[in-house]
Chain A
Amino acid sequence: MTKGATAPRRSGGSRGRGGTPPEPDYVQLLTPDGERVSHPDYSVDFSDEELRGLYRDLVTVRKLDAEATALQRQGELGIWASLLGQEAAQVGSGRAMRSQDMAFPTYREHGVLYCRGIDPIMPLSLFRGVDQGGWDPVANKFNLYTIVIGAQTLHATGYAMGIAKDGKVGTDDGEAVIAYFGDGATSQGDVNEAFIWSSVFHAPVVFFCQNNQYAISEPLERQTRIPLFQRAAGFGFPGVRVDGNDVLACYAVTRAALDNARLGQGPTLIEAYTYRMGAHTTSDDPTRYRVSSEVEAWQAKDPIARVRALLTKEKIADDAFFDSVDADAKAEAVQLRERVLTMPDPDPAQIFEHVYVEGSPLVEAERKQFEAYAASFEGSAH
């Protein structure tokens, strides 16, 4: 049994009520100081160019996220769910997907969305209230954001069952599914039902839990008394805990789990042990429920700083590269801002569109009433 894998080990699980949690035992390939470390079961073999690419991804998604947070503060978005601190978990797992794999996100997976090649304006239009997710989820292999906690884990499992029915497992070019959720979601019935379903139907799905330590204000201790990855054993499939701030480890562990799924070995639960540096959303105030020393301790494990330290130490990149990445990310953020500010409000007729494929007399009648009512104002001072 490997380090970090489901086993009768008690790491992180024996913390007492109110005690200091021990340092968790997890798969790590890059330390917070930027040192590469080896692991008996997981490794990555990235070229220098690929490592620079990962760094660029991390910086870009953080910058876009910061821009979205600023836009919310300026009243341009109704709300924003920041990914700050979770960039490695999202970029690592997102880049581990193959083009044919399907993702089922929550409302915070902006980094995964970016890795899927979807226009980063999309989640901003959602949070601005222009639409409820404008992309085609099936064509983009990335489902719409799901707001109800954990509901998407069942959709992911069903989709994975469909892959198996289609005979698209068991070969190297098969398909797999990844379902994203947070630590709070593990308390939901749907997530536990998804674990049962995926296990008994041997579905090619990877459950990627970003344990960011808080469900809005409630700490992990309010959701579980054992490490989350150990839950998998009770459902009959492997669980792995990975350093969620280590993009290399997140990539390696996710790639392996997706490969196992596509080769017909069933589901895996990955617990990416990380930390949400900001608020749950722009609506809450994390200073009410957590202490600054905790935040500072996690600051030292920053997912971007450690990759930059690695690139510097191993002379894979120089200051000119870092400057250019910053400049490009800034340019992309400025562009995003301009696009948000010039985003038109939707046509009111959209209220009545796409309710049913085959229509409904009730919806049609109300559409006509609305149009007549709206037309009655034309030419008036209102």
Chain B
Amino acid sequence: MAVETLTLGKALNTGLRRAMERDDKVILMGEDIGKLGGVFRITDGLQKDFGEERVIDTPLAESGIIGTAIGLALRGYRPVCEIQFDGFVYPAYDQIVSQVAKFRYRSRGHVNLPMVIRIPFGGGIGAVEHHSESPEAYFSHTAGLKVVACANPEDAYFMIQQAIASEDPIIFLEPKRRYWEKGAVDTALGLDAVTPLHNSRVVRPGTDATVLAYGPMVKTALDAATAAQEDGRSLEVIDLRSLSPMDLTPVFDSVRRTGRLVVVHEAAGNLGMGSEIAARVTEECFYSLESPVLRVTGYNTPYPASRLEEEYLPDLDRVLDAVDRSFGW
């Protein structure tokens, strides 16, 4: 056993280090990731130890980061690109959606693009405009990409390594408001000994209703479950972990037992992840449902000025309110 207590950010840093030690074709690319270690310090110390050839400070152009990473992947490298903030991924959107996602399909399997695109996502840190976006639905809608979100240090440590080891291109979403939260990580475990990258997981068992979340909202859902316990309600919390492909089997199982589902995410609800989940759960569990699948999401507005983000973001009370509505049906 080598259980360490790490912040989510440090867990990512350590996971990146392990991946670079394991395979010298793994290279990191991004803005300010070298000497500075990234604006969130996720790559702290890696350039010092692995050199400028493997931890590359790039020019300030996101399409260029992704486009050149494609060429490097064609050449046999495994690029891990850092997009500095969620709202800055849009200049690279064409390269991700039109090129990264389609290269393998277009070439009838001749070419794999084993690359990872790391994106700190979501709000809650008091940032200015374009620094608190939730772009997951755009990428999850695109076949050819896989999209995952970690929620705690243990998953951060293992999922980043699993993503880098994957032969498919992965959009790797990091809950930036959780970067500083600590948790136990058993760094002695191998990648095969932990939950596979694309499986969801029950993170708190319960019997009365199911709450499904991913990324930054997993903690919110867990906090809500703790509060609900005091009111005598037992909530089962599931961390989706992989947004594309989605592993809803544990969700179906859970809903068949509890009869109720609340989906929580920060992104706007309209045409979002929750809509897809609600549709699938309805198709699969129609006769088990005691009430409609309810969604707790960001509002269908642009992300507001940070003094208003506490109102905008789903919180413990909004989750509990949705649970109440589910029981009131």
Contact indicator B71/A156 (Cβ below 8 Å):
yes
Quote the shortest CB–CB distance from B281 to chain A (angstroms).
15
The reply on B307 being an interface residue by CB < 8 A is: no
- Asked if B67 is at the interface of the complex by the 8 Å CB criterion, the answer is yes
A155 and B74 within 8 A (CB): yes
Min C-beta distance of B67 to chain A, whole Å: 3
Q: Given A148-B99, A151-B94, A363-B143, are A193 and B64 also a contact pair (CB < 8 Å)?
A: yes
- A158's contact among B70, B108, B112, by CB below 8 Å, is which? B70
Chain B residues whose CB sits within 8 angstroms of the CB of A138 once the complex forms: 74, 110-111
Residue of B nearest to A364 (CB): B245
The reply to whether A144 and B107 form a contact with Cβ atoms under 8 Å apart is yes
Per-residue CB contact flags for chain B residues 77-114 toward chain A (1 = under 8 Å, else 0) read: 10000000000000100110011000011111111100
A193–B67 touching, CB < 8 Å: yes
Q: Check: B309 CB closer than 8 A to any chain A CB.
A: no
A148 and B67 within 8 A (CB): no
Taking a contact as CB atoms under 8 Å apart, the answer to whether B70 and A155 are in contact is: yes
**A127 in contact (CB, < 8 A):** no
Contact call B109/A155, Cβ cutoff below 8 A: no
In the bound complex, do residue B168 and residue A157 qualify as a contact, i.e. CB atoms below 8 Å apart? no
Chain A window 176-199, contacts with chain B (Cβ cutoff 8 Å), 1 for yes, 0 for no = 000000000000011001101100
The contact size tier of chain B is 35 or more
Point out the residues of chain A lying under 8 angstroms from B70, CB to CB: 154-155, 158
Asked if B64 and A162 make an inter-chain contact with CB atoms under 8 angstroms apart, the answer reads: no
Measured between beta carbons, the chain A residues less than 8 angstroms from B108 are 131-132, 134, 350, 353-354
Pair B72/A194 contact, Cβ less than 8 Å: no
Chain A residue numbers with a CB within 8 Å of B104 are: 354-357
The answer to whether A151 and B67 have CB atoms under 8 Å apart is: yes
Residues of A within 8 A of B69 (CB): 158
Set A139, A148, A360: member contacting B110, Cβ < 8 A: A139
Interface range for A? 35 or more
Q: Which B residues are in CB contact (< 8 Å) with A134?
A: 108
Assess whether B67 is in contact with A136, with CB atoms less than 8 Å apart. no
Q: Which of B64, B73, B247 is A154 in contact with, Cβ under 8 Å?
A: B64
**In residues 105-137 of chain B, which contact A (Cβ within 8 Å)?**
105-112
Q: Does B205 contact A (CB under 8 A)?
A: no
Q: With A137-B74, A151-B94, A357-B112 in contact, do A157 and B105 touch (Cβ < 8 Å)?
A: no
Chain B residues in 8 Å Cβ range of A194: 64, 67-68
Most B C-beta atoms less than 10 A away, residue of A133, A144, A200: A144
Query: Do A193 and B61 touch across chains, with their CB atoms under 8 A apart?
Result: yes
Q: Which residues of A have CB within 8 Å of B246?
A: 362
B71 partner residues in chain A, CB cutoff 8 A:
154-162
Query: Contact: B245 with A132, CB < 8 Å?
Result: no
Measured between C-beta atoms, what is the minimum distance from A224 to chain B in Å? 20
B63 contacts A193, C-beta separation under 8 Å: yes
- Digit string of A125-151 for contact with B (CB within 8 Å is 1, else 0)? 000000111111111000110101001
Q: Give the residues in chain A near B72, CB-CB below 8 Å.
A: 158-159, 161-162, 165
Q: Once bound together, how far apart are the Cα atoms of A163 and B68, in whole Å? A: 12
- Closest A residue to B144 by beta carbon equals A355
Most chain A CB inside 10 Å of its own CB: which residue of B91, B98, B104, B107? B107
Sampled A-B contacts (22; CB under 8 Å): A131-B108, A132-B105, A135-B110, A138-B110, A151-B67, A151-B94, A151-B95, A154-B95, A158-B74, A160-B71, A162-B71, A190-B63, A190-B94, A193-B59, A197-B59, A197-B64, A357-B104, A357-B166, A358-B168, A360-B244, A360-B245, A362-B245
Query: Could you list which residues of chain B lie within 8 angstroms of chain A, going by C-beta atoms?
Result: 27, 53, 58-59, 61, 63-64, 66-77, 91, 94-95, 98-99, 104-112, 143-144, 146, 166-168, 244-247
